[in-house]
């Protein structure tokens, strides 16, 4: 199945975050010569809320149950089984999740995921400190230019290089940032926050900024990931300074202020972009390439999680890559079956979330009403189903 080594690798995966690592794990038995490039040296930080969705672990379990089991060992606290949602009017609602999940700083989680690749995909060459700056699709191969070192050649490239994906910008350029389909988020670590429970993630909605929320997630060792995310459209329209707004919320929001009286911030407040899925149909593949995870804009627009969809899309890309080598077909028409799989297995749910996020974003009264309604016996499952 793999081609004679005319080229350096059969497959080059750019980015070793959840999407890239899952893709490499998906290809571990393919017999293909895989390179996994990342600009960073692991362990590396990634700005995130650090909530590892249950669906991320479920997807990895499909590849090998021991993958999910070993990642669960990272979990220093109780599993997260419930979330507390505080409505703009201060009413709150506790939602129980069917799939348990856990919180873990990404520096630790992503390093553990990459360690699985090292152990279980020995045919994968991991190239850290290797930043991609350019690439060209040729008739029978792909040429990759790292910022340092010689050109790398391969037959297929898979862009898992996150929200500022070089692969996406070079191969599917967009004239400008689509602010209706991007969020911006900031987060900081804190300790000594009063009243937080280890198995509960907390979400706070404010009537001023409904296309987003403030979160408080316990991540173990007495530390909390606290952040604020918002639709880029709203940030630009209202000229919101997210770092300043987060600090203000922590000292003035009725459900938060008292709890931060003795809190201490650990390190700086840092921000990053969240490319949202579900709002528009955009190709995520073409001749000899595919995009996964944030590079393919697959973040859930309502809840802001994307580790699960990154892992799911990385696994789908691995299946498509194997099919490409079996059929020796790397044409855009054949690659489009990857788009169809992602649309079917991930995109439909994201589209529903996007519609709901847009619908609720101008209606604080409706969010308040939904939280109140969920307290009526029998109605909570309906509200929970709508949120996802």
List of residues contacting ligand FAD (CB under 6 A) = 14-20, 37-40, 46-51, 53, 131-132, 160-162, 166, 185, 187, 227, 229, 272, 274, 293-295, 299, 304-308, 310
Closest CA to 2 of 21, 40, 30, 27: 30
- C-alpha dihedral, 77 to 78 to 81 to 87, nearest 10°: -50
Cβ proximity to ligand FAD: between 6 and 148 the closer is 148
What beta strand segments (E) does 297-375 contain? none
CB of 105 to ligand FAD, least distance (A): 11
Considering the complex, state which of residue 280 and residue 363 has its C-beta at the smaller distance from ligand FAD: 280
For the CB of residue 203, give the shortest distance to ligand FAD in the complex, in Å: 11
Measured from the CB atom, the residue of 19 and 32 that comes closer to ligand FAD is 19
CB of 165 to ligand FAD, least distance (A): 7
Question: Token pair for residue 64?
Answer: 């090998």
Task: Report whether 183 contacts 232 (CB < 8 A).
Answer: yes
Q: Which two tokens stand for residue 189?
A: 């670590």
| Smallest gap from residue 365 Cβ to ligand FAD (A) | 27
Core vs surface per residue 334-367: b (16+ CB within 10 A) or e: bbeebbebbeeebbebbbbbbebbbebbeebeeb
Nearer to ligand FAD (CB atom), residue 89 or residue 265: 265
Q: 232 or 367, CB closer to ligand FAD?
A: 232
Between 24 and 210, CB nearer to ligand FAD: 24
The strands making up 92-103's β-sheet, listed across from edge to edge, are 51-52, 92-103, 80-86, 200-204, 212-220, 223-231, 182-191, 264-275
**What whole-number distance in Å separates Cα of residue 73 and Cα of residue 192?**
25
CB of 163 to ligand FAD, least distance (A): 6
Question: What CA–CA distances, in Å, run from 357 to 179, 211, 281, 333, 364?
Answer: 14, 7, 17, 33, 12
Give the nearest distance from C-beta 294 to ligand FAD in angstroms: 4
């Amino acid at each position: 199945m793999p081609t004679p080594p005319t080229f350096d690798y059969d497959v080059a995966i750019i980015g070793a975050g959840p999407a890239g690592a899952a893709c490499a794990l998906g290809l571990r038995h393919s017999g293909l010569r895989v390179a996994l490039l990342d600009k960073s040296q692991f362990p590396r930080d990634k700005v995130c809320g650090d909530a590892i969705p249950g669906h991320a672990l479920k997807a990895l379990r499909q590849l090998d149950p021991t993958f999910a089991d070993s990642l669960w060992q990272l979990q220093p606290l109780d599993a997260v089984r419930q979330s507390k949602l505080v409505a703009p009017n201060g009413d709150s609602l506790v939602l129980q999740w069917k799939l348990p999940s856990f919180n873990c700083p990404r520096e630790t989680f992503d390093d553990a995921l990459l360690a699985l690749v090292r152990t279980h995909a020995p045919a994968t060459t991991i190239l850290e400190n290797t930043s991609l700056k350019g690439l060209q699709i040729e008739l029978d191969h792909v040429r990759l230019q790292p910022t340092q070192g010689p050109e790398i050649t391969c037959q297929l490239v898979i862009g898992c290089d996150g929200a500022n994906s070089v692969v996406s910008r070079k191969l599917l350029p967009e004239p400008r940032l689509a602010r209706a389909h991007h969020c911006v988020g900031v987060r900081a670590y804190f300790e000594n926050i009063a009243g937080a429970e280890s198995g509960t993630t907390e979400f706070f909605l404010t009537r001023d900024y409904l296309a987003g929320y403030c979160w408080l997630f316990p991540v173990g060792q007495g530390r909390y990931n606290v952040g604020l995310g918002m639709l880029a459209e709203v940030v630009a329209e209202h000229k919101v300074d997210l770092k300043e707004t987060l600090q203000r919320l922590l000292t003035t929001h009725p459900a938060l202020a008292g709890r931060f009286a003795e809190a201490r911030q650990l390190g700086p407040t840092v921000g990053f972009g969240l490319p949202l899925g579900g709002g528009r149909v955009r190709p995520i593949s073409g001749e000899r390439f595919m995009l996964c995870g944030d590079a393919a804009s697959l973040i859930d627009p309502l809840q802001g999680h994307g580790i699960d969809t990154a892992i799911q899309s990385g696994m789908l890309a691995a299946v498509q890559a194997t099919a490409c080598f079996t059929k020796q077909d790397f044409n855009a028409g054949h690659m489009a079956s990857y788009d169809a799989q992602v649309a079917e297995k991930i995109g439909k749910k994201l589209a529903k979330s996007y519609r709901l996020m847009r619908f609720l974003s101008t209606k604080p009264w409706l969010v308040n009403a939904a939280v109140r309604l969920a307290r009526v016996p029998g109605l909570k499952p309906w509200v929970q189903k709508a949120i996802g």
